Amino acid sequence: MNALALLMPLAWRNLWRYPRRTAITLVVVAVGLYSILCFAAILEAWAQSSRDTTLNLLTGSAQIHAQGYLDDPTVSHTMPPPDQALSQALAQPAIDASAARVRVPAVVQSEYKTLPLTLIGADPNSERALSSIPRQIAGGAYLSTPSDSGIVLGRHLAERLKTRVGKRVIIMAQSVDGSLAQQSFNVVGVYAGNQEIEDQYAFTGIATAQEMLGLGDRISEISLHVASDSDLASTLRTISAAAPGLDVRSWMQLSPLAAAMDGFMHAFVYIWLWIMFVLMAIGIVNTQLMAVFERTHEFGLLQALGMRPRLILAQVSLESALLIGIGVIIGMIASAATIALFHNGVDLGFLARGAEFFGAGRVLYPAIAPLRFVEMSALVWVLGVAVALWPARKAARANPVEAMHYVS
Amino acid sequence: MSPIVSCRGVEKRYRVGAIEVPALNGVDLDIEKGDFATLSGPSGSGKTTLLNMIGGLDRPSSGEVSVDGTSLKGLDKNRLTEMRLHKIGFVFQAYNLIPVLSARENVEFILQLLGVPAEERGKRADAALRDVGLEGMETRRPAYLSGGQQQRVAVARALVARPAIVLADEPTANLDSKTAEDLVGLMADLNRSLGITFLIGTHDARVMAHSRRHIEMTDGRITSDEAHENADAAQ
């Protein structure tokens, strides 16, 4: 006997026997899945934005330092510029930008105030490809050459120092020989970022910083950006092999908080999936149980006529699979349309400060990987059919005599 | 020749709260191949219970039922279902057609369960519907058939697999007298022409008038079992 040929017409027609109940189940499944997929896309966008905001400032995808620098980030732990092997490793196609920096703790002094900060000697051309700070200039201009002797301050720091573009400040830091190096800088630009960043970092040309600190051509770090996360691990292995004496770390090791937030966002999608699924399951089980109770007499009749209990189980399960499948398809189409509608970005300007507080950018780009989209939809379908097995088992266990006396 | 149905010392007791209510009290009965027998008696006499025992829809508390040489005693739920499929046709008081299937599909359903190929299924279902006078109504769903027509579909469904016996429980109870008369005449004709055994539980004197064997039940016992000649049987 071809069970599917027997059951499919019955199952399909039974779906439309009670249009209201079918519609309720479809709405429950479609809305539930829609919310899961859209929420996943927004959370993914939020996680991406949060990660980009953090990493694009200075961190990049990974950094290379001298051993010990991260524990004591001073002039005592510098490294020579990349040799041929490291330069070749940094030129591999997976890396789309890299920048060498001098990075030391320092003190800035204006006419009114003295404050601590981190002085970064940067190559403006490399930084433009790697960091978002050159694009975040709120006043004046960013550095123009590696030997630029001007300084770019954070907006909030400039306000606290009561200084501005065109005025001068003094930077003091420990030089290589242990003496106090100090130099007067002309404020050439002010950048805007979040307040913590604005207070912490000031930028001057890398050659100027090296000269001031007596570093020669030595540097503190190399920051690099890997276009695809999936290439990160292999890229770092290549770099580590090319520079065995150096400390090569990924952004997850450099910014554990950002990595934890990223992991939490992904986990939260699944937490949300389960919350929504429990609600959906209650709806599915309720409506399917009602359907089974209303059709108790019919299941008794089918058994009396010679339909085996396992075929009745298969028939009710097939009905659930079709019904939930249609709901899943509607949910997939609706959520795909919604995500596509906002693929150019959702502007969070109206809650920009709040978004910034949580580390996200102003514009979110909702997106979800096709595999994840299908995987989540399939999971909802499988789980939905699984919970609907309970009502189906009730139908299959009906005693024919009792069932045929049952009046719904 | 062994009987199609054999009941020996069949008892059935139902428990209602703390009280045990006897429904059948030691029924002994044989139904022979080709019988057109009626089972009558007042409400609560045990007619439906006995039909359920013979049909394998319920199990006796004690005693034994055999259908076409197979004892139902040791059969599990699945084997009982198989036995019903292969050996018994049912006609119920409330028609009991599958509402989402057409008349032809309702009749074909049994053949589908039996694994009959689609082409043969269609031919046999159409022939069965023709036998019960429903030619031209094959594609109608139950909601678009009268009570009498639905009961004819039920008879066609019961007969299409050529079962050892057709059990009918009050098949005319929901029909007007003309329709009921036609239906009983039809079943009697099918009994004669196809040799199918019928056991019909009924109060209806018109049905009894067509039967060749009349079994009377009272308080769960068979109180009389008489063969009698009637106009149909004489033909």
State which residue of chain B sits closest to A400, comparing Cα positions.
B57
State which residue of chain B sits closest to A309, comparing Cα positions.
B78
Q: Tell me how far the alpha carbon of residue B159 is from its chain's centroid.
A: 10
Instruction: Pick the closest to residue A188 from A205, A167, A172, A174 (CA basis).
Output: A167
Please tell me the pTM assigned to this model: 0.73
pLDDT band at A389 (very low <50, low <70, confident <90, very high): confident
Residue B173: per-residue pLDDT: 85
Residue B235: per-residue pLDDT: 41
CB pair distance less than 8 Å for A13 and B52 = no
CB pair distance less than 8 Å for B81 and A303 = yes
State which residue of chain A sits closest to B98, comparing Cα positions.
A298
Q: Is residue A144 predicted with pLDDT exceeding 80? A: yes
Residue B230: per-residue pLDDT: 58
Residues 33-72 of B with CB under 8 A from A: 52, 55, 57-58
Residues of B with CB below 8 A from A296's CB?
Answer: none
**Residue A376 CB: number of other CB atoms within 10 A?**
22
Return d(Cα A394, Cα B4) in angstroms, integer.
34
Residue A387: per-residue pLDDT: 87
If you compute the radius of gyration of chain B from its CA atoms, what whole number of angstroms results? 17
CB pair distance less than 8 Å for B112 and A404 = no
Task: Give the gap in angstroms from C-alpha A316 to the nearest C-alpha of chain B.
Answer: 14
Side-chain-side CA neighbours of A192 within 13 Å: the count stands at: 6
ipTM of the complex: 0.88
CB pair distance less than 8 Å for A303 and B99 = no
The string of pLDDT tens digits covering residues A3-39 is 888 899 888 998 888 888 889 889 999 999 999 899 8
**Planar angle of CA B77, B82, B83, nearest 5 degrees:** 95
Q: Is residue A17 within 8 angstroms of chain B, CB to CB? A: yes
Q: Looking at beta carbons, which pairs linking A304-307 to residues 24 or more positions away fall under 8 Å?
A: A304/A400, A304/A404, A304/B55, A304/B57, A304/B84, A304/B90, A305/B84, A305/B85, A305/B90, A305/B109, A305/B110, A305/B113, A305/B157, A306/B81, A306/B82, A306/B84, A306/B85, A306/B86, A306/B110, A306/B113, A306/B114, A307/B81, A307/B85, A307/B113
Residue A358: per-residue pLDDT: 57
Q: Is residue A362 predicted with pLDDT exceeding 70? A: no
Q: Residue A122 is which amino acid?
A: A
Q: Is residue A360 predicted with pLDDT exceeding 70? A: no
Edge-to-edge strand list for the sheet holding B36-40: B88-91, B165-169, B197-201, B36-40, B213-218, B221-227
